[in-house]
Structure 1
Amino acid sequence: MQLVKVGLCAFGMSGKIFHAPFLNEHPGFFMSAIVERSKEESKEKYPDAIIYRSVEEMLQNSDIDVVVVNTPVQTHFEYAKMALEAGKNIIVEKPFTVNVAEAEELVRLAESKNLFLSVYQNRRFDRDYLQVQKIISEGKLGNIKEVEIRFDRFRTEPSAKQHKENPELNGSGSVHDLGSHLVDQATQFFGFPEKLFADIFSMKGEEFANDYFEILLYYKNDLRVRLKSSVFTKEDHFAYKIFGDKGSFLQERTDDQENELATGAIPIYGKDWMKPLTESDGILIYSNENSKSERVLTSSKPGNYMNYYQQIYEHIVFGYALPSLGNEVVQNMKIIEAALESSKKGKVLDLN
């Protein structure tokens, strides 16, 4: 099996939970380098990885094939550009960049150097997202008319992460953080909208970055998609509500990979490593062949973030399709940027 050598730009939460465990367990990858500016926390679990004190120092390692840019979003552009100029393929954590101009420049640079650029949109591999994708593709709901996708939390106290909480920093706040997932899912399901309207602010107060948003996407054929997030939601909602002219589907957010990884769970290569659900997590109501209404309790199958890295490996070795292309995610950045402008101006914006 061809071995692909990877360097991690940071060993914070993202590195520890979303990247290192999968790279370490996938037999086609070798995690050869990790940047830790002052600590050596990675040494215990990943003793074969060389620890570097800066991204610049790591990029001098000519053996590295792929660099994972998983630093705070305000540094994504700088480090991603640096890696591309060093001749490295790159995976960039979401959100891609702080604005569209940076994202477009990185895509152009990668193309000019014949290198790949993928954005780590791991929520495409969540069990709940995959279940919604399946239900929509089956066509039982008919023509989709209205959709709501939510990602709520109950975090009334600000975090210590200034790159997420400081309103003066570009890219801070929930719209870039959680919004990058919801916008990506909307565009994966329905494509690029024609118009949007957004309401964005901070429930914790003006001294903190936005922690609430509602973005209404307008599509052709009168489809409306509402994306919403709040940090003052103690009781869970259905994360997905899909309404069509033949039926409806309600789906809970039940993927638990992040929580399991945070407790030290080790993903397994080659098979699902999350346990099947013991209860249903969705409700499907639709008209059957006899025009009678059926109500079915559904259960989603396990998601697996390993599939993202499997697709990256298959792209490198076999030339298969690259997951979450940079120029694809640029479109998401355009929606995020327009949403911020819409909220500021208080009006509907035409995206064409």
Structure 2
Amino acid sequence: MKTQTLNVGLIGFGMAGRTFHAPLIQTAPGLELTAVVSSDAERVQAVYPEVAVHAKSASLFADPDIDLVVIATPNETHFPLAKAALAKGKHVVLDKPFAVSLAEARQLKSLADGAERLLSVFHNRRWDSDLLTLKGLLDEQRLGRVVEVESRFDRFRPTVPDRWREQHRPGSGIWFDLGPHLLDQARSLFGMPRAILLELASLRDGAEIDDDFQAVLEYDRLRVTLKASALVAEPTPRWRVNGTRGSFVKYGLDPQEDWLKAGEIPQPAWGVDPSPGRLTLNEGEGDAVELVHHEVEAVPGDYRAYYDAIARTLLRGTPPPVSVDEALDVMSLLEAGLDSYRQGRWVKLKEGGSLPRRLHAKG
């Protein structure tokens, strides 16, 4: 069993690499950020003066001391960079989305399996406080049988920025940006749906690519709606969950992203959401309805958990925090959604629709 610290090389020092990956890697026991691939060495070393900076990814891959490569680059580069890293015997973590097509993702899985290397995707919002809190409510069946879920990720960004996500490039647009977050969360709560229906729109002045989506996931006696938009100024519920015994409503995004952007260092159980949401339950007897409001105790979020688990996987052989098959499920949903939008109809998934047993509560 390996006991030494693993050396990590990070490709990309933009928002994702600088804000999320680098600080979370640095706080994970058993991992050390030792190299970064960036065209701006001064920018990297202003924050991490002890880290080596490579101008090209090939020189990072050639370094025999690098154990794990983390790829936080534009979506269309995920496949070639991961392919090259695996070919050099490196373990690989990809920022979401996995790739820009299901075919690319499946090929990377095959390559990782053949090389006996770890391949995982950074679906960090599994460790949002609100998701963990809602999961606890569902496990306890506080809402009864859940019949409707709406999950939103709205922003107000009326001016289209000059960045690759807003341009006609593979994997750009809000569906590939925020869709993976909401799809992975829905999948983690309810499993794979039976079918998906997607609507995309480009609503802002000057928008080249989709900046608004609504996806509907169909399950047995449950409908999940996922929405994201760049033109929502008034706060909307992050979650609205209705069941046979009551409802759960939560406003506001998990605060960890803003804290990381502000330069805060992640601490154990640091992600306590100050707005954990409200539970409204029917506490009447028989046919009488008596609605009672309850403030919910938030489960702390912790993005550190992802890289902590990656280290344990590589050093101790424990299961990865996000398996390749789970990441492939999200890619299947992303691609099926695009098929739905292009064809203007529901698209069925080969497997899905059966809810976890804990969600089959009666009453």
Place the TM-score, normalised by the shorter chain, in its bin. over 0.9
1:250, 1:284 within 8 Å by CA — same for their partners in 2? yes
2:355 matched residue in structure 1: none
Partner of 1:300: 298
2:203 maps to which residue?
A: 203
Q: How does 1:219-258 map to 2 (within 5 A)?
A: 219-220=219-220, 222-258=221-257
User: Counterpart of 2:266?
Assistant: 267
Q: 1:318 aligns with which of 316, 319, 328?
A: 316
Moved more, 121-130 or 299-308: 299-308
* Partner amino acid, structure 2, of 1:196: I
Residue identity in the other structure for 1:302:
P
**Distance of 2:95 and 2:271 partners within structure 1:** 23
Q: Is the 8 A contact 1:20 1:31 kept in 2?
A: yes
Counterpart of 2:53 in 1: which secondary structure?
A: strand
1:99-248 to 2 correspondences below 5 Å: 99-162=101-164, 164-167=165-168, 169-204=169-204, 207-220=207-220, 222-248=221-247
Q: How many Å apart are 1:20 and its aligned residue?
A: 1.0
Output the CA distance in 1 between the equivalents of 2:113 and 2:24.
27
Letter in 2 for 1:177: D
**Shift in Å, 1:320:** 1.4
Deviations 1:198-240 (A, max 9, x none): 11111125751101000111112x2110001111101111111
By how many angstroms is 1:107 displaced? 0.8
Distance 1:172 1:332 in 2: 16
Contact 1:89 1:115 survives alignment (8 Å): yes
TM-score normalised by structure 1 residue count: 0.93
TM-score by length of 2: 0.91
1:147 touches 1:224 (CA, 8 Å); kept in 2?
yes
Distance 1:264-1:2 versus aligned 2 partners, 3 A rule: same
Work out the CA distance in 2 between the residues paired with 1:288 and 1:107. 49
State the distance in 1 between where 2:277 and 2:87 align: 46
Query: Could you say what secondary structure the match of 2:224 adopts?
Result: strand
Report the secondary structure of 1:96's partner residue: coil
Aligned-partner residue type, residue 281 of structure 2: Y
CA distance in 1, matches of 2:145, 2:293: 18
Distance 1:320 1:267 in 2: 23
Match of 1:200, SS state, is strand
8 Å Cα contact 1:165-1:172 kept in structure 2: yes
Q: Secondary structure at the match of 1:234?
A: coil
Q: Structure 2: any 5+ residue segments left out of the alignment?
A: 351-363
Tell me, yes or no, if the aligned pair for 1:286 and 1:294 is still in contact at 8 Å.
yes
Match of 2:282 in 1: 287
Match of 1:67 among 66, 69, 91: 69
CA distance in 1, matches of 2:29, 2:186: 33
Distance 1:27 1:273, change over 3 A: same
| Pairing partner for 1:24 from 19, 23, 26 | 26
Contact preservation (8 Å) 2:102, 2:332: yes
SS of the residue 2:260 aligns to: helix
After TM superposition, give the deviation of residue 189 of structure 1 in Å.
Answer: 0.7
The CA RMSD over aligned residues, in Å, is 1.7
| Contact 1:8–1:68 under 8 Å retained in 2 | yes
CA deviations on 1:249-304 (whole Å, 9 max, x unpaired) are 11223421111111211223xx2234663xx4311122359565432011423311
The 5-angstrom pairing of residues 34-113 of structure 1 reads 34-113=36-115
Does structure 2 retain, via aligned residues, the 8 Å contact 1:127–1:254?
no
For 1:95-142, what per-residue CA distance to the aligned partner results, in whole angstroms no more than 9, with x for missing partners? 111110001110111111111111001111111111111111111111
Is the CA contact 2:214–2:227 (under 8 Å) kept in the aligned structure 1? yes
Q: Is the 8 A contact 2:129 2:272 kept in 1?
A: no
- Which amino acid in the other structure matches residue 48 of structure 1? E
* 8 Å contact from structure 1 (residues 23, 30) kept in 2: yes
SS in 2 for 1:321: coil
**Contact 1:110/1:116 (CA < 8 Å) preserved in 2?**
yes
SS across alignment from 1:239: strand
Deviations 1:327-347 (A, max 9, x none): 211111111111112112211
Deviation, 1:29, is 1.2
Residues 143 and 166 of structure 1, relative CA distance in 2, 3 Å threshold: same
Query: Could you tell me how far apart the structure 1 residues matched to 2:73 and 2:284 are?
Result: 52
Q: Is the 8 A contact 1:143 1:246 kept in 2?
A: yes
Number of aligned residue pairs: give it: 345
Asked whether the 8 Å contact 1:255–1:302 carries over to 2, the reply is no
Structure 2 letter corresponding to 1:217:
L
